[in-house]
Structure formats: structure tokens, C-alpha cells
Amino acid sequence: MLTILDAKKFDTVYALLEESFPPDERRTYEGQKALLKDARYTVFTYEEDGEILAAMLTWNLDSALFLEHFAVFSKYRGKGLGARLLALLSEKAGRRICLEVEPPETEIARRRIAFYERSGFSRNLFPYLQPSLSEGKNPVPLQIMTTGGALDEESFANIKKELYEKVYDYKEGVSL
């Protein structure tokens, strides 16, 4: 079962982010912790015997539920847990989910995309650049994947605008 993060376990979730994402694709410890005060932001964890095995960090947006980070501790990967958790999140959300992935330029990126496709996500091939997450970090070229099929250009533009403004506090027209 997915449960909302007990704030006392934040350090474990942040350690999972550090294990799972390169520095340019995650916020600083302080920046990540500050998001816990945002009503649109929810961290779900999956635990067994009081131990966190996985986390799903989400934003409740108008256009979709944005799965900003999804990670399973490495020792629990490859056992079907990720697919089960995506199914649970999809059921809980009851609406479109979107997430960001690296373009299929490496074997691990291709495997990650295939995993999400098996879980009902579609790639949207419109240009997308994740803005810098904090001072000293670089913007990252990514792709948006969504449940409910691929997006048309207008729907993609709406999701991109909402991600930029609400998740990244970035206004288009400002240099990345």
C-alpha cells in the first residue's frame, strides 16, 4: 500500500533520490524538504516491516498528476515492485499521470522507457527541457510520458506550461 511520507523518514527518501537520480535531476536536500509544505506536493512511500522500499514524489496539477520522481531502492529492483506501484498510483490518481524520462540515447534510458510503456505510458516527442532545479545545476533535455495515450501539441503545451510554472517556478521566455 502507498502511504504518505512520515516527515521523520524524509532522510531515507532523499538518500533514495541520491542513489537513483543524477544531481541535475534532483533538488538539493533543503529544496526537496521545503516542498513538503506545498499542498500540491505529496510524497508516497511503499514500506514493508517499517522499511521504505520505494518512493513516488508527485504534484497534483490541473492537467495531470505529475510523477516527479519514482524510485525503488536498488536491492528491491527487478522483482515487479515498480510495476505494481505504478498500477496503485494510477488507480489512486484516477486521471492522467505524466512523468519525465531521458531520451532513448542509452541502454538504461531505453529500458526505463520500455518499463513505463509496459505500464501504460506513451512518449510525447515534442521538445522539452527540464529547467535547472537550483543554482549551479543544469537544465536537462528530457521527454514527457503520459498515461491515456500520447498528447496532441496543445495538450502537451498545457502540461509543459503547468510544469514550468508550478513545479519549477520557471517562466517561459526566460533563458534556460
Is the predicted pLDDT of residue 166 greater than 80, yes or no?
Answer: yes
Q: pLDDT (tens digit, 9 = 90+) per residue, 63-75?
A: 999 999 999 999 9
Distance CA 105, CA 170 (A): 26
Q: pLDDT (tens digit, 9 = 90+) per residue, 37-86?
A: 999 999 999 999 999 999 999 999 999 999 999 999 999 999 999 999 99
**What type of residue is 106?**
T
pTM over 0.75: yes
pLDDT score, position 124: 98
Please name the helix (run of DSSP H) or strand (run of DSSP E) that holds residue 101, with its range, or none: strand 97-101
Is the predicted pLDDT of residue 171 greater than 80, yes or no?
Answer: no
Query: What integer is the mean pLDDT of 130-139?
Result: 92
Q: Which residue has the higher pLDDT, 172 or 71?
A: 71
pLDDT band at 176 (very low <50, low <70, confident <90, very high): very low
Give the pairing type, strands 97-101 and 65-72: parallel
**What type of residue is 13?**
V
* CB-CB neighbours of 129 under 10 Å: 13
Lookup result for grid cell 506550461 = 161
Cα dihedral 111→114→118→124 (10° resolution): 140
What domains can be seen in the chain, in order of their start residue? 2-167 (3.40.630.30)
